[in-house]
Amino acid sequence: MGVERSDLVPPSEHAAAGESLARARAHLLGLQSPDGWWKGDLETNVTMDAEDLMLRTFLGNLSPEDAAASARWIRSQQREDGTWANFYGGPGDLSTTVESYVALRIAGDTPSEPHMALAARFVRERGGIESSRVFTRIWLALFGLWSWDELPAMPPEIVLLPPRVPLGIYDFGCWARQTVVALTIVAAYRPSRPIGFTVDELFTGAHPSRPRPSLRNWRGRFALLDRVLHGYERLASRALVRATIREAALAVAERWVVRRQEADGGWGGIQPPWVYSIIALHLRGYAIDHPVLARSFEGLEQFTIRRGDTRMLEACQSPVWDTALATIALSDAGVAPDDERLVRAAGWLLGEEVRVRGDWSVRRPGVPTGGWAFEFANDNYPDVDDTAEVVMALRRVALPDPSRAESAVVRGVEWVEGMVSSGGAWGAFDADNRREILYDLPFSDFGAVIDPPSADVTAHAVEMLADERTADPERIRRAVAWLRDEQEPDGAWYGRWGVNYVYGTGAVVPALVAAGTDPEDVAVRRAVSFLESHQNDDGGWGEDIRSYDDPTLRGEGVSTASQTAWALLALVSAGEAASDASRRGVDFLVSTQRDDGNWDEPWYTGTGFPGDFYINYGLYRLCFPVTALGRWLRAVRPGGEAPEVASALPHAPDTGERPSGPAGTRDDGAGSDGRRGPARRRRDPGSPEAGR
């Protein structure tokens, strides 16, 4: 039963929440770039740094200063047991530990040092290098520390397959697609450059386990195919085959990679395809000072965060996402639609609209261009999630030229509607990208490789479309039906891009209500029950990342500011703002807030690949609490008015920190070195099918 009566919430609670919101709002405003955008640091795990050291060692352009600074960062993240984890508080991970160990060997650490001996012992106890992931062993093969013969075949001829042929490159999710195409070039050359040391101490002598060839299931069939492809690799080394089929495939793959380089020098705005594309093009004869590679390294420098004497590489950057979330949060916090800070943010977002055709058009050739990407520069891969949030953010701002915003919004809505999958829901980057047999390929052990529809992305699309008069009601109806079918037996929704059931539930409930679902509907009531039953004793909500693998951890974990805010967003939408659960959640945010208005949140609440790769977004701990407190106050104050706010809000106290360009050094999760703004968008990257 919804609890909306404002008289159930004492004025003292209004006041405490209002003061907390004012501090958080001021802090968030103080982090805005002069150009209008926000970007928090994006922290993942040290494989980014380890692979950067290995990349530069392979290419011969690793400076002693960078090696030492990166090594200091990697050492600082080592756990007491000698291991490295993939997320804060997580268990030691075998592959991450192997890569970190090799990187420290490159930096000069010796096997006899205590921290290295501990790491080596863990690796051996976990099955040695032989049990590490395929991609880890590919890195080792680059230096002759592993045999290419003992790796799955990845023939570049895959790029010659027509787009709709099963197991072609467009069956992969965009992040995996770019990675795989580049790696097929690397695997074709099978390079091996001596590194000056061995890692015999990381081996157990056991042979890596492999699926048995069989025709009974896809894993067995692919194992049989892998044997055939290894035979073909031997054939492809012969002059005639190499000069015809193999060279044609390599040339097509090379063009495919080059034409997808973005304006910032990277590929897809993410580390994996970026580093493998550099290696692939280098093997194709591109010198380090070639404009393509020179630009790629300039871009990597902008993903580098230097803190003191350490050096850390971001796996990705999230300025569009962060700016949309910050704009919505400040609007919910009472900042006026015509406030110059929001106007600047909206103006910057309009400049980031993608107006070129990317890989998404292979499956949706008739859909007009539009939408927004996650990063400063990623024209080839706009996504539904960012587009939905940007449209909702633009609707909160009174721009001097409303027609410009209206045109962009209409294009964004049309693009999102065109990207719907056949079942009525949305994936992030592609439509109908869900060929699950790809997980049975021998090299598919690095995380998610497809982009099927998810509840959280679909919820954001529904929430956006529900407020758009031009949106197709039938699309909304089908998406709502899909979301209802996806609800878990305990009332929650799975979170694909955030941890986990708290994130999914926090996204879906507001979307259902926005689309016209009665808060008393059984689906909403079940979601409320899930959240209430998983509230922690301190009033907050938290969920351990391991809930992706262990169902007993659903909705269970240390309370965090971002996850508490997600739960509150759902409860407020469900008419539960004045409930005991909501009030305790608000009290948690108020009582755990720092004096500067932010919250501490070392826990990772963002998801890259469920079960494999996680993210600590630097601004989640701030944007979502601001949104939640603003909506809660609006719901419980007599008359429902928004928190009072002057048209010219004060900024946070000047601490000497400044918002950054694509990387920064602030310790509260937001960048601060101010080196540059976003790269200029490239307007004509070519057809996504060019060069095939």
Q: Which residues are the active-site residues?
A: 385
Q: Enumerate the β-bridge partners of residue 615.
A: 606
Q: What is the CA radius of gyration of the chain?
A: 25
Displacement of CA 190 from its chain's centroid (Å): 30
Please count the other Cβ atoms lying within 10 Å of the Cβ belonging to residue 642.
16
541: β partners: 560
Name the residue with tokens 């040391």: 197
- The 3-state secondary structure of 129-162, one letter per residue: HHHCCHHHHHHHHCCCCCCHHHCCCCCHHHHHCC
Which H or E element spans position 607? strand 606-609
| C-alpha to C-alpha distance for 537 and 548, rounded to whole angstroms | 23
Q: For CA atoms 461, 464, 467, 470, give the dihedral sign.
A: negative
CA 559, CA 623: separation in Å to the nearest integer? 16
The residue type at 9: V
- CB burial string 516-527: b at 16+ within 10 A, e below: ebebeeebbbbb
How many CB atoms within 10 Å of residue 583?
23
CA distance 573 to 575: 5
Q: What does the DSSP assignment read for 610-622?
A: TTTEEEEETTHHH
Q: Is residue 30 a contact partner of residue 602, using CB atoms and an 8 Å limit?
A: no
